[in-house]
Structure 1
Amino acid sequence: MTEAVPRHRKRIATATTLTAVAAFVSAGVALAAPSNADSGSTTLTGTTPGYATPSADLGQAAAAAQVTVRVYLAGQDAAGLDAYAQSVSDPNSANYKHFLSTTEFRNRFGATQAQVDAVTKWLNGAGLKVTNVAQHWVDVTGTVDAAQKAFGTKLHNFATPDGALRSNSTDVKIPAGVSAAVLGVAGLAQSKQHAVTNHQKNDTSARGPVQNNDPSCSDYYGQKKAPATAPAVPAGYTTPATLAQCSMVPSELRDAYGVSKTGLTGKGARIAIVNWYGSSTMEADANQYAVNHGDKPFAAGQYSEVSDPSQWTNKDLCGFGDFGEESLDVEMAHAFAPDAKVITVAANSCFDSDLVAAEANIVDNHLADIVSNSWGEIMYSTLGDIDPASMAAYDQIFKQGAVEGIAFDFSSGDCMNQDTLSTQTGLNCDSTASRAQVQWPTSSAWVTSVGGTALGLDKHGYSFEAPMADTRSGRTAPGAASWTPEGSTFGAGGGVSETIAQPWYQTWTVPRSLSTTLMDGTKTKQPKRTVPDISLNGDLYFSSTLVGSTDAATGVYSEGGFGGTSVSAPSWAGILADAQQAQWGIPVGFANPAIYARSWLTNDVVQNPRQIATSPTHSVIFEYPATSPVAGLFRLVSYGADEGLPASRGYDLATGVGSPTASFIRSFGFGH
Structure 2
Amino acid sequence: MRTTGLGTLGQDVDTWSRHVGTRQLRPGQLTVVPTPDGTPAYTSAETDSGLVETTLDVEAVHGMAPDADIIVIGYSTSPDNGPNFDLASDMYVLDHTHATIVSNSSTFMPTPRTQVAYDNLYQEGALQGVGFYYPSGDGNGGLAYQAGDQWTTGVGGTSLAIGPHGSREWETGWGDTLSALSPDGTSWQAPQPGGGTGGGWERGTPRPWYQQGVVSDREATGPDGKIDRTSPDVAMDADAATGMLVGGTPLYGETWPGSEESSWKYTERRYGGTSLSTPLFAGVQALAQQARGGTPLGFANPTLYHLAGTGALRDITKLTGPPPAAVAQRWVSAGTFAPMLFQMLAQEPIPGVPVTTSVGPGFDTETGIGAPTGEYLAQMRRN
The interval holding the TM-score normalised by the smaller chain is 0.7 to 0.9
Equivalent positions of 1:442-521 (< 5 A) are 442-458=147-163, 459-477=165-183, 479-480=185-186, 482-485=187-190, 487-518=192-223
Equivalent positions of 1:194-205 (< 5 A) are none
Deviation string 1:545-578 (CA, Å, 9 cap, x unpaired) is: 1001103533210111001111111111111111
Structure 1 residue 555 and structure 2 residue 245: aligned?
no
TM-score for both structures, normalised by structure 1: 0.50
The correspondence for 1:387, drawn from 86, 105, 111, is 111
Structure 1 residue 592 and structure 2 residue 313: aligned?
no
Deviation string 1:80-103 (CA, Å, 9 cap, x unpaired) is: xxxxxxxxxxxxxxxxxxxxxxxx
The correspondence for 2:88, drawn from 357, 375, 379, is 357
Q: CA deviation at 1:461?
A: 1.3
1:457, 1:571 → 2: CA distance? 16
Change beyond 3 A, Cα 1:517–1:310: closer
The answer for the alignment partner of 2:146 in structure 1 is 441
Equivalent positions of 1:338-417 (< 5 A) are 338-348=66-76, 352-377=83-108, 379=109, 386-415=110-139
Structure 1 residue 574 and structure 2 residue 283: aligned?
yes
1:575, 1:443 → 2: CA distance? 21
Equivalent positions of 1:604-643 (< 5 A) are 604-608=315-319, 613-615=320-322, 617-622=323-328, 633-641=338-346, 642=349, 643=355
2:99, 2:369 → 1: CA distance? 26
1:629, 1:550 → 2: CA distance? 15
Q: CA deviation at 1:629?
A: 5.6
Change beyond 3 A, Cα 1:370–1:490: same
Structure 1 residue 528 and structure 2 residue 228: aligned?
yes
Question: Counterpart amino acid of 2:151?
Answer: W
The answer for the alignment partner of 2:27 in structure 1 is 300
Residue-pair matches, total: 356
The correspondence for 1:538, drawn from 222, 232, 238, is 238
SS of the residue corresponding to residue 293 of structure 2 reads coil
Deviation string 1:82-132 (CA, Å, 9 cap, x unpaired) is: xxxxxxxxxxxxxxxxxxxxxxxxxxxxxxxxxxxxxxxxxxxxxxxxxxx
SS of the residue corresponding to residue 508 of structure 1 reads coil
Deviation string 1:262-291 (CA, Å, 9 cap, x unpaired) is: xxxxxxxxxxxx225241111111111111
Q: CA deviation at 1:348?
A: 2.4
The answer for the alignment partner of 2:258 in structure 1 is none
Q: CA deviation at 1:605?
A: 0.8
2:278, 2:378 → 1: CA distance? 20
Question: Counterpart amino acid of 1:562?
Answer: Y
1:496, 1:297 → 2: CA distance? 40
CA contact (8 A) 1:277 1:348 kept: no
Q: CA deviation at 1:584?
A: 1.3
Change beyond 3 A, Cα 1:314–1:388: farther
SS of the residue corresponding to residue 353 of structure 1 reads coil
Deviation string 1:155-211 (CA, Å, 9 cap, x unpaired) is: xxxxxxxxxxxxxxxxxxxxxxxxxxxxxxxxxxxxxxxxxxxxxxxxxxxxxxxxx
CA contact (8 A) 1:277 1:320 kept: no
Q: CA deviation at 1:485?
A: 3.7
Q: CA deviation at 1:636?
A: 2.1
SS of the residue corresponding to residue 348 of structure 1 reads coil
Deviation string 1:268-325 (CA, Å, 9 cap, x unpaired) is: xxxxxx2252411111111111111221111111110111485346987x63465110
The answer for the alignment partner of 1:603 in structure 2 is 314
Change beyond 3 A, Cα 1:313–1:510: same
1:319, 1:347 → 2: CA distance? 11
2:52, 2:283 → 1: CA distance? 18
The answer for the alignment partner of 1:336 in structure 2 is 64
Q: CA deviation at 1:529?
A: 0.6
CA contact (8 A) 1:323 1:549 kept: no
Deviation string 1:30-65 (CA, Å, 9 cap, x unpaired) is: xxxxxxxxxxxxxxxxxxxxxxxxxxxxxxxxxxxx
The correspondence for 2:367, drawn from 628, 642, 655, is 655
Could you say which structure has the larger radius of gyration? 1
1:441, 1:275 → 2: CA distance? 16
Equivalent positions of 1:41-80 (< 5 A) are none
Change beyond 3 A, Cα 1:555–1:315: closer
CA contact (8 A) 2:75 2:86 kept: yes
Change beyond 3 A, Cα 1:624–1:346: closer
CA contact (8 A) 1:531 1:656 kept: yes
1:314, 1:446 → 2: CA distance? 33
Deviation string 1:66-85 (CA, Å, 9 cap, x unpaired) is: xxxxxxxxxxxxxxxxxxxx
Structure 1 residue 311 and structure 2 residue 10: aligned?
no
Change beyond 3 A, Cα 1:313–1:291: closer
In structure 1, list runs of 5 or more residues that go unmatched: 1-273, 380-385, 420-436
Deviation string 1:463-506 (CA, Å, 9 cap, x unpaired) is: 211111221123434643x4224613211111112121111111
SS of the residue corresponding to residue 10 of structure 2 reads helix
CA contact (8 A) 1:452 1:467 kept: yes
SS of the residue corresponding to residue 295 of structure 2 reads coil
Change beyond 3 A, Cα 1:470–1:289: same
Change beyond 3 A, Cα 1:314–1:510: farther
CA contact (8 A) 1:466 1:640 kept: no
SS of the residue corresponding to residue 277 of structure 1 reads coil
Q: CA deviation at 1:444?
A: 0.5
SS of the residue corresponding to residue 202 of structure 2 reads strand
In structure 2, list runs of 5 or more residues that go unmatched: 254-260, 350-354
Identity of matched residues, %: 29
